[in-house]
DNA sequence: TATCCATTTGCAAATATTTTGCATTAGTAT
DNA sequence: ATACTAATGCAAAATATTTGCAAATGGATA
């Protein structure tokens, strides 16, 4: 897995390398699962980063694609850094909310099928795919 | 497309056939796209159905699977009746939020792949799959 | 049909989440 | 070092969701 440098990400995206944004990207970089705003605020509160700053930074990051938003059923939105190599997705436990990754969702194939059926779309820019079930501990 | 009878749905699920719940299911039955709580409340306000009733009914319906929750990026949750025949999913315009359906997401195949990779899950109970892009009008 | 009981509802209020306005701070280019 | 603008923090507003509780009502039973 490639390590992404928060400073470089910000610079490339045309953002300033501020302390809040650097810390936010470092947090996402280190996390093994996508984090909710709540999670992020809880971590960054120690560094005196304001909740509003988190909202605004995430919004900006998602808008230009530096961060990916993930929406699980019945939960608040979560955020993670986009894949550099393999396009990964998530299996989520409907009871304990444990999250595990998997790769290989066969998008190209399905995009093609979908576009073939579509009257209003000619190009797909992104996708989401999530699996739900009880994890072995909860089952 | 099979027509589903709200009264029967409620009875089968062990719920009472109350006016608010019948109207809510009729609304979803007639809608061509998944509806947000906001959408639903806006419609049912004419029948003096309270916002809280909508929240509670939807919660109960989703919990037992009578209604399916759909979560698009950057939007509030939406709700629709589950498929009776083909498992359909959505293509969403990232600009105007237009929603179109497509079928054929090849779940079985991908579930198999995912479970093979998984250490913590042995069975998948549901999935979500959404495509995003600019619709022809917005592009 | 009348009665009973548990579910469901509506209203009020609490809580949680997200957005906005604005003055101040602080990157970064020159 | 200076200047310019993006970005931040704080307060407050706006939205969205949940909770408590008394009253209403569906539907089973007598």
Residues of chain A positioned with their CB less than 8 A from the CB of B104 = 110, 113-114, 117
The answer on A128 and A76 residing in a single domain is no
Q: What is the pLDDT confidence band of residue A2, given thresholds at 50, 70 and 90?
A: low
* CATH code at position A110: 3.30.1490.190
Average pLDDT, chain A: 96
The answer on A71 and A41 residing in a single domain is yes
Residues 6 or more apart whose Cβ sits within 8 Å of residue A80? A28, A31, A33, A34, A35, A67, A68, A70
The answer on B20 and B53 residing in a single domain is yes
Closest CA to A92 of A57, A128, A50: A128
Q: Residue A111: which domain range? A: 88-133
A130 → closest Cβ in B119, B121, B128: B128
Residue B73 lies in a domain: yes
Is pLDDT at B117 greater than 60 in this prediction?
A: yes
The answer on A16 and A59 residing in a single domain is yes
Nucleotides of D under 7 A from a protein CB: 6-12, 16-20, 25-27
Q: Write out pLDDT tens, residues B92-109.
A: 999 999 999 999 998 999
The number of distinct structural domains making up chain A is 2
Q: Show the beta-strand stretches assigned E in B29-115.
A: 35-36, 68-70, 78-80, 88-93, 99-103
Task: Return the closest nucleotide (C1') to the Cα of B57.
Answer: C8
Query: Per CA to C1' distance, which residue is closest to D15?
Result: B38
Task: Return the closest nucleotide (C1') to the Cα of B50.
Answer: C10
Q: What is the pLDDT confidence band of residue B2, given thresholds at 50, 70 and 90?
A: low
The answer on A27 and A75 residing in a single domain is yes
The answer on B64 and B109 residing in a single domain is no
Is pLDDT at A1 greater than 90 in this prediction?
A: no
The answer on B104 and B122 residing in a single domain is yes
Which residue in B has a C-alpha nearest to residue A116's C-alpha? Answer: B102
Residues 6 or more apart whose Cβ sits within 8 Å of residue B129? A105, A110, A127, A128, A129, A130, B89, B105, B107
Is pLDDT at B1 greater than 60 in this prediction?
A: no
Q: Write out pLDDT tens, residues B59-101.
A: 999 999 999 999 999 999 999 999 988 999 999 999 999 999 9
- Interface probe for B, chosen from A108, A129, A130 (most Cβ of B below 10 Å), is A129
Is pLDDT at A106 greater than 90 in this prediction?
A: no
Contact B110 A105 (CB under 8 A): yes
Q: Show the beta-strand stretches assigned E in A41-124.
A: 68-70, 78-80, 88-93, 99-103
Q: How far apart are CA B24 and CA B33, in angstroms?
A: 14
Q: Write out pLDDT tens, residues A29-50.
A: 999 999 999 999 999 999 999 9
Q: How far apart are CA B36 and CA B22, in angstroms?
A: 17
The answer on B92 and B67 residing in a single domain is no
* CATH code at position B28: 1.10.10.10
CA of B56 to C1' of C8 (A): 10
Residue A139 lies in a domain: no
Contact A91 B121 (CB under 8 A): yes
* Token pair belonging to B10: 């409620």
Q: What is the mean pLDDT of residues B20-37?
A: 98
> Residues 105-134, chain B: which have Cβ within 8 Å of A?
105-106, 109-111, 113-114, 117-134
Q: How far apart are CA A70 and CA B71, in angstroms?
A: 9
Q: Write out pLDDT tens, residues A65-94.
A: 999 999 999 999 999 999 989 999 999 999
Q: How far apart are CA A76 and CA A86, in angstroms?
A: 25
The answer on B69 and B128 residing in a single domain is no
The answer on B54 and B12 residing in a single domain is yes
Contact A110 B129 (CB under 8 A): yes
The answer on A67 and A22 residing in a single domain is yes
Residue B75 lies in a domain: yes
């Amino acid at each position: 897995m490639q390590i992404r440098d928060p400073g470089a990400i910000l610079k490339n995206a045309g953002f300033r390398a501020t302390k809040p944004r650097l810390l936010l990207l470092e947090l996402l970089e280190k996390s093994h699962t996508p984090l909710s705003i709540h999670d992020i605020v809880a971590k960054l509160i120690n560094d005196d980063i304001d909740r509003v700053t988190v909202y605004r930074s995430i919004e900006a990051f998602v808008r230009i694609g530096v961060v990916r938003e993930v929406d699980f059923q019945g939960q608040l939105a979560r955020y993670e850094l986009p894949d550099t190599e393999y396009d990964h997705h998530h299996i989520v436990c409907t009871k304990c909310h444990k999250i595990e990754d998997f790769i290989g969702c066969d998008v190209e194939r399905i995009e093609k099928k979908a576009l073939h059926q579509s009257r209003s779309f000619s190009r797909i820019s992104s996708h989401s795919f999530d699996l739900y079930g009880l994890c072995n501990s909860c089952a």
